[in-house]
């Protein structure tokens, strides 16, 4: 009887692992990886973009990231901005419910916004040196300089529209652009 116990224990462990892997982690794991990639790319955008000097009031004024609506980053961006700085400037993160209070933003992130909302944000901020980051297919055609989307294989992909950035007097570093699919140039 004792010699069957290890086999029964192994079967029980495999059964539990199978139930857990089918019912829980795939979506959570995918969301977590997606959130990590988006967070890393947003931080890389801040580091690898150039704003006009007048967007900072002094040599220590922070970079301001404004997120409109709910995001799916799971607090990862909050952790990054707590620990990181760019050229001795802190990064300030602000979450707002609507498009009316993004004053002073360097990067405007519109997670889950419809194309119309991205177009409205681009219109409302026209001519201002604000890097707009949206989500969904072809948001770069609506005025966003950066767009996160799911490609045909179901993986997170990035579109980069340097023309949209230059229209706002912003430059995105070539290294940052190589990560994404370049459009509009």
Q: Per residue in 131-159, pLDDT tens?
A: 999 998 889 999 999 999 998 998 888 99
Degrees, nearest 5: CA angle 114-116-122: 110
The three-class DSSP label of residue 62 is coil
Structure confidence at residue 166 (pLDDT): 93
Tell me the pTM. Answer: 0.80
Average pLDDT over every residue of 69-86: 90
Structure confidence at residue 185 (pLDDT): 67
Phi/psi of residue 96, nearest 5 degrees: -130, 160
Residue pair 121/69 in contact (Cβ under 8 Å)? The answer is no
- According to DSSP, the β-strands at 89-96 and 63-68 are parallel
Q: How confident is the model at residue 176 (pLDDT cuts 50, 70, 90)?
A: confident
Phi/psi of residue 134, nearest 5 degrees: -120, 180
Residue-wise pLDDT tens digits, 39-68: 999 999 999 999 998 888 888 899 999 999
pLDDT above 90: residue 74: no
Residues with Cβ within 8 Å of 129's Cβ and at least 6 positions away in sequence, in order, are: 51, 52, 55, 106, 168, 169, 170
pLDDT above 70: residue 27: no
Q: What CATH number is given for 26-182 in this structure?
A: 3.40.50
Average of per-residue pLDDT values in the chain: 81
The whole-angstrom separation of Cα 104 and Cα 62 is: 10
């Amino acid at each position: 009887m004792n010699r069957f116990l290890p086999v029964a224990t192994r079967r029980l462990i495999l059964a539990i692992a199978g139930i857990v892997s089918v019912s829980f982690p795939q979506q959570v794991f995918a969301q977590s990886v997606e959130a990590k990639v988006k967070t890393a790319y947003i931080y890389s955008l801040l580091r690898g973009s150039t704003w006009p000097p007048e967007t900072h009031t002094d040599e220590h004024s922070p970079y301001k990231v404004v997120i409109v609506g709910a995001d799916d980053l799971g607090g990862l961006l909050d952790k990054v901005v707590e620990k990181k700085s760019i050229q001795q400037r802190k990064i300030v993160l602000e979450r707002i419910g609507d498009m009316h209070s993004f004053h002073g933003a360097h990067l405007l992130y519109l997670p889950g916004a419809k194309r119309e909302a991205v177009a409205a944000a681009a219109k409302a901020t026209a001519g201002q040196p604000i890097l707009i980051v949206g989500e969904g297919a072809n948001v770069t055609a609506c005025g966003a300089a950066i767009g996160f989307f799911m490609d045909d294989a179901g993986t997170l992909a990035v579109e980069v529209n340097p023309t949209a950035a230059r229209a706002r007097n912003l430059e995105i570093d070539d290294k940052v652009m190589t990560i994404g699919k370049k459009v509009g140039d």
